[in-house]
Amino acid sequence: MKPPQTIPVAPRLRDNRGMASIAVFLFAMVAVFILMANFKLNYAVSMSGDAFDTFNSQTVEKDGIAQIVKESILAIGETAPIVSSNPIQTEIQNRLASMTFPAGVSVALASADTLPANPFFPFATPVAAVQPAYFSSSPRGVAGMGSLFTSLAIQGAAADLGRYTYTFTRSSTLAPGENWTYTVNADLFSVPLTNIDVVAYGLPASGSIPSQAPSVPVGTFGSGVSTLVVTSNNPANDPTAYPDLYAPQAGTEVLPYQYRNEASFAWNAYEYIWNRTYQDGLLNTAESEPDPGNQASSGSDPTPPKGALYDFSLPAFDPANPGNYPCNPTIAGVTSSGNSLTIDCSQVQSQVIAIVDSEGIGSVTIDGSAGGGNPFILLIRNTAGGLGQTQVSFAGDNSRPAIFYLENSNVGFSGDPQVQGALFFDPTTVASGAVTWYGHFSFYGSASPLDTFPISVNDSPTVKDALAPLAPRVLLVSTTSTRQ
Amino acid sequence: MKPISSPGRRGGFSLIEGIGGLILFTITMAALTYGSASLFKFQSHPQVVYNGNTYSLAPSFGDFRQAVDLHTQFTQSVDQADSVLVFGGQRSHPTLDPNGPSSALSETFADTTLNASAESDPFQGYSSWDQRELNGIQLSSYLTSGADPADFTILTVQGLSHITSVTQQRRYTATLNLQDSVLYEVIYQAFDWSSGSPVPVVNTVTGTTPTAFYRIYYSANEDAWSQPPGATHFWYRTDTVWDRDQEGPTRVIFADPYVLAGQDPQASVSSVSRFVYFLPQMR
- Residue A7: how many CB atoms within 10 A of its CB? 8
- Contact at CB, A40 and B40, closer than 8 angstroms: yes
> Does residue A61 fall inside a structural domain?
yes
Mean pLDDT, chain A, rounded, equals 91
Does the CB of B42 have a partner CB in chain A at under 8 Å? Answer: no
Q: Is B234 on the interface with A (CB under 8 A)?
A: yes
Task: Examine the pLDDT at B140 and tell me if it is beyond 90.
Answer: yes
The ipTM, to two decimals, is 0.86
In this prediction, residue A248 carries a pLDDT of 80
Number of domains in chain A: 2
Nearest Cα residue in chain A from B34? A33
Instruction: For chain A, say whether B71 makes contact (Cβ under 8 Å).
Output: yes
Residue B240 belongs to some domain of the structure: yes
pLDDT at B11: 58
Mutate one of A151, A184, A187, A198 to test the B interface: name it (highest B CB count within 10 A). Answer: A151
Q: Which residues of B touch A30 (CB under 8 A)?
A: 32
pLDDT classification of A281: cutoffs 50, 70, 90: very high
Residue environment code for A100-128, b if the CB has 16+ CB neighbours within 10 A, otherwise e = eeeeebebebeebeebeebebbbeeebbe
A219 lies in a domain?
yes
Residues of B in contact with A59 (CB under 8 A): 75, 79
Examine residue B31 and state whether it is found in any structural domain, yes or no.
Answer: no
pLDDT band at A252 (very low <50, low <70, confident <90, very high): confident
Would the CB atoms of A9 and B4 count as touching at under 8 Å? Answer: yes
- B5-63 pLDDT, tens per residue? 445 455 566 778 778 878 887 887 777 777 766 655 555 678 999 999 999 998 888 89
Asked if residue B27 is part of any domain, the answer here is no
Closest CA in chain B for residue A141: B159
Q: Give the pLDDT of residue A256.
A: 87
| E strand or H helix at A164 | strand A159-172
Q: A225 and A172 in one domain? A: no
The contacts of residue B131 (CB under 8 Å, 6+ apart) are B83, B85, B114, B117, B125
Query: Does residue A224 sit in the same domain as residue A164?
Result: no
Q: Flag whether B6 is in a domain.
A: no
pLDDT band at A203 (very low <50, low <70, confident <90, very high): very high
Q: Is there a single domain that holds both residue A158 and residue A213?
A: no
Residue B163 predicted with pLDDT over 90 = yes
List CB contacts of B254: < 8 A, sequence separation 6 or more.
B67, B71, B169, B186, B229, B273, B275, B276, B277
Domain extent for A385? 198-458
Cβ contacts of A302 within 8 Å, gap of 6 or more: A323
The neighbouring-strand residues paired with B199 are B192
Question: In Å, how far is B153's CA from the nearest CA of chain A?
Answer: 20
Q: Across residues B113-127, what is the average pLDDT?
A: 73
pLDDT value for A60: 84
Identify whether A18 is part of a domain: no
Which member of B4, B248, B280 has the closest CB to residue A8?
A: B4
| Neighboring chain A residues of B249 at a CB cutoff of 8 Å | 245
**pLDDT tens, position by position, A328-351:** 999 999 999 999 999 999 999 999
Residue predicted with more confidence, B279 or B4: B279
Q: In B, which residues are within 8 Å of A241 by CB distance? A: 236-237
Q: What is the pLDDT of residue A29?
A: 81
**Residue A14 located in a structural domain:** no
- How many Å apart are CA A376 and CA A352, to the nearest integer? 6
pTM metric for this prediction:
0.87
pLDDT in tens, A375-388: 999 999 999 989 99
What whole-number percentage of chain B has pLDDT above 70? Answer: 86
How many Å lie between the alpha carbon of B50 and the closest alpha carbon of chain A? 26
B119 domain-assigned? yes
**A1 in a structural domain:** no
A151 CB near a chain B CB, below 8 Å? yes
Q: Return the pLDDT at A405.
A: 98
A240 vs B17: CB contact, 8 Å cut-off? no
- Conformational region of residue B282, where left means phi above 0, alpha means psi within -120 to 50, and beta covers everything else: beta
Residues of chain A found within 8 Å of residue B257, distances taken between Cβ atoms: none
For residues A119-134, give the mean pLDDT. Answer: 95
A with B: how many residue pairs have Cβ under 8 Å apart? 137
Among residues of chain A, what percentage have pLDDT more than 90?
72
Taking CA–CA distances from B234, the nearest residue in chain A reads: A244
- Confirm if A410 and A452 have CB atoms less than 8 A apart: no
pLDDT band at A51 (very low <50, low <70, confident <90, very high): confident
A232 and A102 share a domain?
no
In chain B, whose CA is at the least distance from the CA of A137?
Answer: B196
Shared domain check, A212 and A162: no
Half-sphere exposure of A41 (CA within 13 A, CB side): 18
Segment A111-115 long-range contacts (CB within 8 Å, at least 24 positions apart): A111/A165, A111/A166, A111/A167, A112/A88, A112/A166, A112/A167, A113/A88, A113/A164, A113/A165, A113/A166, A114/A87, A114/A88, A114/A164, A115/A73, A115/A76, A115/A77, A115/A88, A115/A164, A115/A188
Q: Is the pLDDT of residue B211 over 70?
A: yes
Q: Tell if the CB–CB gap between A150 and B36 is shorter than 8 Å.
A: no
Tell whether A141 and A206 lie within a shared domain.
no
Closest C-alpha among B100, B168, B104, B111 to residue B138? B111
Q: State whether A128 and A261 are in the same domain.
A: no
Do A310 and A348 lie in one domain? The reply is yes
- pLDDT at position A2, please? 55
The interface residues of chain A toward chain B in range 386-405, judged by CB-CB distance below 8 A, are none
Q: Could you tell me if B141 lies within 8 Å of chain A, comparing CB atoms? A: no
What's the gap in Å between the CA of A62 and the closest CA on chain B?
Answer: 11
Report the domain count for chain B.
Answer: 1
Our measurement of the distance from residue A123's CA atom to the centroid of its chain's CA atoms, rounded to an integer in Å, reads 19
Q: B221 to chain A nearest CA, in Å?
A: 24
**Single-letter amino acid, residue B191:** F
Q: Is B39–A240 a contact, with Cβ atoms under 8 angstroms apart?
A: no
**Amino acid letter for position A372:** G
Is residue A134 less than 8 Å (CB to CB) from chain B?
A: yes
3-state secondary structure of B118: helix
Across the interface, of B121, B239, B282, the residue whose CB is closest to A147 is: B282
Neighbour-count burial for B206-229, b at 16+ CB within 10 Å, e otherwise = eeeebbbbbbbbbeeebbbbeebb
Q: Is the pLDDT of residue B124 over 60?
A: yes
Q: Report the helix count and the strand count for chain A, using DSSP H and E.
A: 7, 19
Q: How many CA atoms lie within 13 A of A221 on its CB side?
A: 18
Burial A405-431 (b: 16+ CB within 10 A, else e): bbbbbbbbbeeebbbbbbbbbbbbbbb
- Partner-chain contact B122 A224, CB within 8 Å: no
Say if residue A165's pLDDT is above 90: yes
**A395 & A286 share domain:** yes
Would the CB atoms of A146 and B82 count as touching at under 8 Å? yes
Residue A4 lies in a domain: no
Q: State residue A15's pLDDT score.
A: 64
Q: Is residue B18 part of a domain?
A: no
Inform me whether the C-beta atom of residue B21 falls under 8 Å from chain A C-beta atoms.
yes
Which residues lie closer than 8 Å to A351 by C-beta, 6 or more apart?
Answer: A121, A285, A289, A374, A376, A377, A470
Minimum distance, in Å, between the CA of residue B118 and any CA atom of chain A: 9
Within-domain flag for A224: yes
Asked if residue B146 is part of any domain, the answer here is yes
Judged by CB atoms closer than 8 Å, whether chains meet at A30 and B32 is answered as yes
Per-residue pLDDT, averaged over A27-34, amounts to: 82
Mean pLDDT computed over every residue of chain B: 87
Domain for residue A116, yes or no? yes
Q: Say what the pLDDT of residue B77 is.
A: 95
Pick the range with the lowest mean pLDDT from A75-79, B12-16, B66-70, B179-183. B12-16
**A359 and A261 fall within a common domain:** yes
Smallest CA-to-CA distance from A444 within A290, A249, A214 is with A214
Preferred mutation among A55, A148, A221 to probe B, highest tally of B CBs within 10 A: A148
* Cα-to-chain-centroid distance, residue B255: 5
State whether A235 and A151 are in the same domain.
Answer: no
Same domain flag for A232 and A342? yes
Of A51, A227, A480, the CB nearest to B242: A227
DSSP conformation letters of B46-84: -EEEETTEEEEESS-HHHHHHHHHHHHHHHHHHHT-SEE
**Given this model, what pLDDT does residue B270 score?**
65
Query: Are the beta carbons of A245 and B282 separated by less than 8 Å?
Result: no
Domain extent at residue B248:
44-279
Nearest CA in chain B to A230: B244
